[in-house]
Structure 1
Amino acid sequence: MRLGESSWVWQRYGVTVAGEQYANGVTVHGRSSVTIDLNRECTAYDAMAGVDDLTLGLGRVAFSVYADGERLWRSGTVEGRQAAVPVHVNLTGRRVVRLVAEPGTGFDAPALADWADSRFTCR
């Protein structure tokens, strides 16, 4: 992860979205960007994207996954108390991944957004 180019990140165990608990995940603010250098051959990124239950049902966030500057996946708006949406992105031949969360409004920027069960498939 490029620390100097990434927003605040909280790597956690026991992430909860809409009452569903996930073993682990990465929590960010509703307005965030996290850049990851793959440093090896990876074929996929998978996660469940949603608004963390610590936000008490408040907040609306849209999630996107970019690779080498190209957006490969977008969730649409996910609201607090809404089930997390599945993320699957083909990363074959890609070098840099950027996970982006965008708030629905300016008031949603401090919401906690989760990339639950976040994992890369690499060789």
Structure 2
Amino acid sequence: MPPAPTPTPAPAPAVYQWNELWYGITGDHTRPEMRLGESSWVWQRWGMSISDQRYAHGVTVHGTSSVTVDLNRDCSAYEAQVGVDDLTMGLGQVRFSVYADGARLWRSPLVRGGDHAIPVRVNLTGHRTIRLVVEPRTPFDSVALADWAEAKFECR
């Protein structure tokens, strides 16, 4: 009797870094893409710092921000380290939220300039869009620079 065939392992998920995403008007709709008309200003970066901790990549937004990403494929997770960028020099107080298909899946406590980054990992199984939101504590905090460091989407 021949040996049983070895099952083929599932392919590793594809990882899409947020700082490398295209906008939907320039993309090919086969990977996550930001919606241009429904998204705030985004600074896609290589290198950033939160509370003197360096991160290789990520996205910086203003203290009042909302960015919508069409996943365009089956994705299992979104993860990042969130905090106030050191360029803000210790100023700013914001909250981060992650929504998927309109429902809030995660919200940070109040994050102040100088605080250590907070990890976020959200299950995206079955979702089609994600909205990444930053809200200021006061109107003054809207000028803070908020980071989604090491931000990435895991998809199939």
| Same fold, TM-score > 0.5, yes or no | yes
Which aligned runs of 4 or more in structure 1 are off by greater than 6 angstroms?
A: none
The reply to whether residue 120 of structure 1 matches residue 153 of structure 2 is: yes
TM-score, structure 2 normalization: 0.78
Match of 2:40 in 1: 7
CA distance in 2, matches of 1:15, 1:64: 20
Between structure 1 and structure 2, the one with the greater Rg is 2
CA distance in 2, matches of 1:25, 1:72: 20
Q: Which of residues 70, 82, 94 is equivalent to 1:61?
A: 94
Q: Which runs of 5+ in 2 are unaligned?
A: 1-33
Match of 2:52 in 1: 19
The reply to whether residue 52 of structure 1 matches residue 85 of structure 2 is: yes
Structure whose residues are more often strand by fraction: 1
The reply to whether residue 35 of structure 1 matches residue 68 of structure 2 is: yes
Q: Which runs of 5+ in 1 are unaligned?
A: none
1:121 Cα deviation (Å)? 0.4
Match of 2:123 in 1: 90
CA distance in 2, matches of 1:20, 1:110: 21
Match of 2:23 in 1: none
| 3-state SS of paired residue (1:58) | coil
1:76 Cα deviation (Å)? 1.3
Identity %: 67
The reply to whether residue 77 of structure 1 matches residue 110 of structure 2 is: yes
Number of equivalent positions: 123
CA distance in 2, matches of 1:31, 1:99: 11
Q: CA RMSD of the aligned region, Å?
A: 0.4
Higher RCO (C-alpha 8 Å, min separation 6) = 1
